[in-house]
């Protein structure tokens, strides 16, 4: 029992050493003592990063919803599993008990079965942050279907690409969604997407905004009547530990989005164990993660990790600015939130507002504050620490990725002394390494390099849906026998890690990962555009914003430049979504390129960041004259 809950620093080091010296024995003990298995494993771990092939708990059988719901019913049936806090504070919050969650998930599971969904089928979930979203993914897990949640801020094009990539048979959506004082026509977006998706036979529609929508005969049905008619119990499908649980798409630096595949047993063990320790969750605590379930943070730390621990988890439909910038603090006071987990971009936006928004609320329930999604800058860290935590709640700066499934580098609150901007120490079982550009590990402290992980952990993604070669090439070829994260990091004198940011062409805007290539592809489809290049530049709220350099076709384009800028952003909104819009667009006659034709983004980044004093080596440029022209016309 003792290893499940780390209580002091000595214990952390002791358990960490144990987890590294004998990972199999360590994870076996955690898995054995804290979860419900229908059959135990034959082998804890097999791995070969050169293939790459990783299996955890091979031969074991389980259903993750039995672990997240059924096994709590005897002791926590009446306990609140999910608190739903609606967008509009005037609308009453819902408290869904574990009993009620069981009933809802079983009904939904039976509805999916009636629609012909079977074990292994892919189900696309395109829903706002309403209870149906959590219920639907659990229902998929109940019957062994693979959920693929697409964030409900993505455009119809982006949705269609994701539906087709994994051949989803059915889409679960809602009529519309609320975001602050706006409402969005989700069903309209689905209808448009499905023009390109011949494989989708059914669309089930949750009623949320009661807006008028079109229902296509034979394809579309309202969800609620089906749920009402369904039976409230459903025998869980027995899954192998390595059966896929879900697919979640993430942007890469090039090409199409990658459908990261997570499997059942290892993912459950790792998300539950990290949740318990990283948030120091205790029975009767109320935990709130403000992420959307459309991202990995929501999958692992709104749904699976908390529910596997029998926790009470808050699902918030709204935004931090509605009805005013006090909303987060109001919700913390209202539900007496003990652990609060949010993103630096939200903290920065809130820190810009009048302090009264925070001070008007009683935040004394808080015990732990979390940060995730991008590096947290020092100013934001102190604002969070002083004004939200009142210097009493430790901040856990948690570094991890869609690909890692769970938190990888993080302090353990009340255990690890924190330092602003440092994610501090690897979590139990995680073996980080810093690499130089030649591929050698950099040993010792006070060093900086590219962050890799040397040894498998239970919740790592197993493949990219339909493209195992790409999985190998992206993560396991740059550094032999290592998983490469795409991030840079430094290790300080005491061995603490600080993540310095992406070293590839992924740009994190307001915590959303955006690959430059898909945005450039979208821009280049504009009839007036010949070529484009996107870079990030520092932004005081978003962390990074996007700067686009655009070459127009030589057709004597005379249209108003601002109109063109709007059209380009419209183009991006349609192809990807509004999160990928450019803050600045500069029209240029050429882009700095190397002789091999590569755009030198390093130079473009410096120009966009107003840092042109030292552009570094430009001797390999084919067209050095274009650099001065770009500097002279910067926007
Ligand atoms: C959980 C999540 C992954 C990328 C990752 C980093 C960046 C995330 C932190 C961070 C510095 C952090 N998954 N990142 N957390 N950088 N400090 N605490 O965000 O797949 O959407 O993004 O996010 O670059 O590679 S993600």
Residue 557 has pLDDT above 70, yes or no: no
Q: Does residue 536 fall inside a structural domain? A: yes
Domain presence at residue 489: no
Q: What are phi and psi of 181, to 5 degrees?
A: -90, 10
369 and 319 share one domain: yes
Q: What are phi and psi of 20, to 5 degrees?
A: -90, -35
Contact indicator for 516, 253 with CB cutoff of 8 Å: yes
Most confidently predicted of 158-167, 506-515, 517-526, 555-564: 158-167
Whole-model pTM above 0.85?
yes
CATH number at residue 543: 3.30.300.30
Q: Report phi then psi at 566, rounded to 5.
A: -65, -40
Q: What is the pLDDT of residue 74?
A: 98
pLDDT at 553 over 90: no
Are 468 and 529 members of one domain?
no
Task: Kindly tell me if the per-residue pLDDT of 469 is higher than 70.
Answer: yes
Q: Whose CA is nearest to atom 7 of ligand 1?
A: 374
What's the average model confidence in pLDDT over 438-463?
Answer: 97
Question: Read out DSSP for 284-333?
Answer: T-EEEE-S-TTSHHHIIIIIIHHHHTT-EEEEE-S-TTSSSTTHHHHHHH
For ligand 1, atom 17, the nearest C-alpha belongs to 375
In contact, 49 and 483? CB cutoff 8 Å? yes
In this prediction, residues 276-282 reach a mean pLDDT of 97
Per the domain annotation, does 3 fall within a domain?
no
Q: Which of 309, 403, 261, 353 is nearest to 5 (CA)?
A: 309
Q: What is the mean pLDDT of the segment spanning 92-120? A: 98
Question: What residues have CB less than 8 Å from 332, skipping those under 6 apart?
Answer: 288, 340, 361, 363, 365, 366
Residue 20: inside a domain, yes or no? yes
Q: Of 454, 475, 496, which marks where a domain is finished?
A: 475
Q: Give yes or no: residues 403 and 453 share one domain.
A: yes
Q: Ligand 1 mean position to 200 CA, how many Å?
A: 32
Q: Are residues 207 and 287 in the same domain?
A: yes
Mean pLDDT across 115-123: 98
Of 43-47, 271-275, 517-521, 541-545, the least confident: 517-521
Same domain, residue pair 511 and 466: no
Mean pLDDT (whole number) for 630-634: 93
Strands 339-342 and 258-263: unpaired
Mean pLDDT of 117-130: 98
Residue partners of 147: CB distance under 8 A and separation at least 6:
122, 123, 125, 136, 137, 140, 141, 245, 246, 247
Q: Which domain holds residue 170?
A: 9-475
Q: Tell whether 533 and 611 lie within a shared domain.
A: yes
CATH number at residue 87: 3.40.50.12780
Mean pLDDT confidence for 423-432: 98
Residue of 407, 508, 510 to test ligand 1 pocket, by largest number of atoms within 8 Å of CB: 508
CA 73 and chain centroid, separation:
29
- Say whether both 216 and 337 belong to one domain: yes
The reported pLDDT for the residue numbered 596 is 65
Residues 421 and 469 in one domain: yes
Q: Are 305 and 67 in contact (CB under 8 A)?
A: no
Question: Rounded to the nearest whole angstrom, what is the distance from the C-alpha of residue 374 to the centroid of ligand 1?
Answer: 5
Phi-psi map region of 387: left, alpha, beta (phi>0 left; psi -120 to 50 alpha): alpha
Probe target for ligand 1 pocket from 251, 374, 404, 488, with the most ligand atoms within 8 Å of CB: 374
Mean pLDDT over all residues of the chain? Answer: 95
Q: Which residues line ligand 1 (CB under 6 A)?
A: 250, 295-297, 371-375, 397-402, 423, 485-487, 499, 502, 508, 513
Question: What proportion of the chain, given as a percentage, has pLDDT over 90?
Answer: 88
Residue nearest ligand 1's atom 22 by CA? 401
Q: What is the pLDDT, as a whole number, of residue 1?
A: 44
Listed in sequence order, the residues at least 6 apart from 487 whose beta carbon sits closer than 8 Å to its beta carbon are 399, 450, 451, 499, 500, 501, 502, 503
For residue 543, the cross-strand partners are 539
The more confident residue out of 254 and 289 is 289
**Higher pLDDT pick, 452 / 557:** 452
Going from the Cα of 227 to the center of ligand 1, the distance in angstroms, rounded, reads 37
Ligand 1 midpoint to CA 452 (Å): 14
Number of domains in the chain: 2
Q: How far is the CA of 402 from the centre of ligand 1 (A)?
A: 8
For 604-631, the DSSP string reads HHHHHTT--S-----TTBS-THHHHHHH
Asked if residue 198 belongs to a domain, the reply is: yes
Q: Tens of pLDDT along 188-208?
A: 999 999 999 999 999 999 999
pLDDT value for 621: 79
CA distance 477 to 439: 10
Residue nearest to atom 26 of ligand 1 (CA): 401
- Kindly state whether residues 451 and 525 are assigned to the same domain: no
Q: Which of 541, 97, 546, 468 is nearest to 261 (CA)?
A: 468
The answer to whether residue 620 is domain-embedded is yes
The answer to whether residues 441 and 578 belong to one domain is no
Residue 369 Cα to ligand 1 midpoint, Å, equals 17
User: 442 C-alpha to center of ligand 1: Å?
Assistant: 22
577 and 442 share one domain = no
Indicate which residue's Cα is closest to atom 4 of ligand 1: 401
For helices 9-21 and 23-34, what crossing angle results, to 10°?
Answer: 110
Query: What is the pLDDT averaged over residues 148-162?
Result: 95
Neighbour count for residue 230 (Cβ, 10 Å): 20
Nearest CA to ligand 1 atom 13: 401
């Amino acid at each position: 029992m003792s290893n499940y809950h780390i209580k002091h620093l000595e214990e952390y080091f002791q358990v960490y050493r144990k987890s590294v010296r004998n990972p199999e024995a360590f994870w076996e003990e955690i898995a054995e003592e804290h979860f419900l298995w229908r059959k135990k494993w034959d082998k804890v771990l097999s791995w070969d990063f050169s293939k790459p092939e990783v299996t955890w708990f091979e031969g074991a059988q389980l259903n993750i919803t039995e672990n997240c719901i059924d096994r709590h019913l005897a002791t926590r049936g009446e306990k609140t599993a999910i608190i739903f806090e609606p967008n509009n504070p005037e609308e009453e919050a819902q408290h869904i008990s574990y009993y009620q969650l069981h009933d809802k998930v079983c009904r939904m599971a039976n509805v999916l079965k009636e629609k012909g969904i079977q074990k292994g089928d892919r189900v696309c979930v395109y829903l706002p942050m309403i209870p149906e979203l959590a219920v639907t993914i659990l229902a998929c897990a109940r019957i062994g279907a693979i959920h693929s949640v697409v964030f409900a801020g993505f455009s119809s094009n982006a949705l269609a690409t994701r539906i087709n990539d994994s051949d989803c048979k059915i889409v679960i959506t809602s009529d519309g969604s609320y975001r602050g004082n706006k409402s969005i026509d989700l069903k309209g977006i689905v209808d448009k997407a499905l023009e390109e998706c011949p494989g989708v036979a059914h669309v089930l529609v949750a009623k949320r905004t009661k807006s008028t929508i079109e229902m296509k005969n034979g394809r579309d049905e309202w969800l609620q009547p089906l749920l009402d008619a369904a039976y409230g119990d459903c025998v869980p499908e027995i899954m192998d530990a390595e059966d896929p649980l879900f697919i979640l798409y993430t942007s890469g630096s090039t090409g199409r989005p990658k459908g990261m595949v997570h499997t059942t047993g290892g993912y459950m063990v790792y998300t539950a164990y990290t949740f318990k320790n990283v948030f120091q969750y205790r029975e009767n605590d109320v935990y709130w993660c403000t992420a959307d379930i459309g991202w990995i943070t929501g999958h692992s730390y709104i749904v699976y990790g908390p529910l596997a621990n029998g926790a009470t988890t808050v699902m918030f439909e709204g935004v931090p600015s509605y009805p005013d910038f006090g909303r987060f603090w109001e919700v913390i006071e209202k539900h007496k939130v003990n652990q609060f987990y949010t993103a630096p971009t939200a903290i920065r936006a809130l820190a810009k507002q009048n302090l009264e928004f925070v001070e008007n609320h009683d935040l004394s329930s808080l015990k732990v504050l979390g940060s995730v999604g991008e590096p947290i800058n020092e100013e934001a860290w102190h604002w969070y620490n002083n004004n939200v935590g009142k210097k009493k709640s430790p901040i856990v700066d948690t570094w991890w990725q869609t690909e890692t499934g769970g938190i990888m580098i993080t302090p353990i609150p009340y255990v690890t002394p924190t330092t602003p901007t440092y994610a501090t120490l690897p979590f139990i079982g995680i073996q980080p390494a810093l690499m130089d550009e030649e591929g050698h590990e950099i040993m010792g402290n006070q060093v900086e390099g590219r962050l890799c992980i040397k040894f498998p952990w239970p919740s790592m993604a197993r493949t990219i849906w339909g493209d195992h070669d790409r999985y190998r090439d992206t993560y396991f070829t740059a550094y032999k026998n290592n998983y490469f994260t795409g991030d840079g990091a430094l290790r300080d004198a005491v061995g603490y890690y600080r993540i310095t940011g992406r070293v590839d062409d992924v740009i994190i805007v307001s915590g959303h990962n955006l690959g430059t290539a898909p945005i450039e592809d979208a821009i280049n489809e504009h009839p007036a555009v010949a070529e484009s290049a996107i870079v990030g530049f520092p932004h005081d709220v978003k962390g990074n914003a996007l700067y686009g350099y655009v070459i127009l076709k030589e057709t004597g384009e005379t249209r108003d430049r601002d109109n063109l800028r709007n059209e380009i952003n419209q183009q991006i909104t349609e192809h990807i979504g509004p999160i990928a819009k450019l803050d600045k667009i500069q029209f240029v006659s050429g882009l700095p390129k190397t002789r091999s034709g590569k755009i030198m983004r390093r130079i473009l980044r410096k120009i966009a960041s107003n840092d042109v004093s030292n552009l570094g080596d430009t001797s390999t440029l084919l067209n050095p004259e274009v650099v001065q022209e770009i500097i002279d016309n910067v926007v």
